[in-house]
Amino acid sequence: MLAIVNSLIKRWLIIMVIRLNYLFTLVISVTLMGCSQRQPVTELIETTITVSQTVDRTETITSTTVLEMEPYYFKSSDPNMITIHGVLLVMDPTVMLPDPNDGIFLVPISGGEGITTIPSFEMGDVKQADVDERTGEFVFVNVQPGKYAVVVLTTGGAQVPARVYDSGNLAIFDVDDSHRNTVFELEKLRLP
């Protein structure tokens, strides 16, 4: 009789662990989709995490399943060109969001120190970044030497200059011939 009771308890525990695993997977999936509405579910891959429960002194049931994002592969520059890499942090997504179609642009500017305005632009006339929309990481490829500003096109269609995260200054910088065949790293940028 004791063997039958132990067997039933083991089966019940196994069923409960399996149900908890499915519930855990569902909660994680819903959480990931809710945190990043623009992240397609097809960009998720399965990896493992171990959740163990001891059924008795000799048997352990292990269940595994967690979802993780696939890596994003950026475009690369042609030889003898400049690549610019950065990360854009959105400070208040309830106020202003970048356009979800790679809405980060590199606008050439002229003038010396003390630039306070950035000229408006037409899409197609300036470099558009390759953006990992999940993380805000972006890359401009095949850039020529010059003075540039990073400008973000918002979901509302506004052209808003990005700012350096730490200082709040406009994201204006120079690249020159010494940056050819390299990746020019920008400081963290923010919007607004």
In a domain, 112, yes or no: yes
**Same domain for 103 and 55?**
no
Q: What pLDDT is recorded for position 112?
A: 67
Q: Both 94 and 26 in a single domain?
A: no
CATH of the domain at 88: 2.60.40
Same domain, residue pair 55 and 118:
no
pLDDT digits (tens, 9 = 90+) for 7-29: 666 675 566 556 655 555 554 54
Q: What pLDDT is recorded for position 68?
A: 79
pLDDT digits (tens, 9 = 90+) for 24-80: 555 454 444 444 333 343 444 545 455 555 555 555 556 566 667 899 999 999 999
Question: Is position 74 within any domain?
Answer: no
CA angle 162, 173, 85 (to 5 degrees): 70
- Same domain, yes or no, for 159 and 129? yes
Total domain count, the chain: 2
Domain that holds residue 34: 2-69
Shared domain for 167 and 104, answered yes or no, is yes
For 88-101, b/e burial (b = at least 16 CB within 10 A) is: bebeeeeebbbbee
Query: What is the rounded distance in angstroms from the CA atom of residue 180 to the CA atom of residue 192?
Result: 30
Which has more pLDDT, 88 or 100? 88
99 and 180, same domain (yes or no)? yes
18 shares its domain with 112 = no
Q: Which of 18, 40, 69 is the last residue of a domain?
A: 69
Whole-model pTM? 0.64
- The answer to whether residue 75 sits within a structural domain is no
104 with 185, same domain?
Answer: yes
Q: Are residues 94 and 124 in the same domain?
A: yes
Is 76 within the bounds of a domain? no
pLDDT, mean over the chain: 79
CB 61 within 8 A of CB 15: no
User: Does 62 share its domain with 142?
Assistant: no
Q: pLDDT tens, 138-157?
A: 999 999 999 999 999 999 99
191, 88 Cβ separation under 8 angstroms: yes
The reply to whether 141 and 97 lie within a common domain is yes
Are residues 172 and 146 both part of a single domain?
Answer: yes
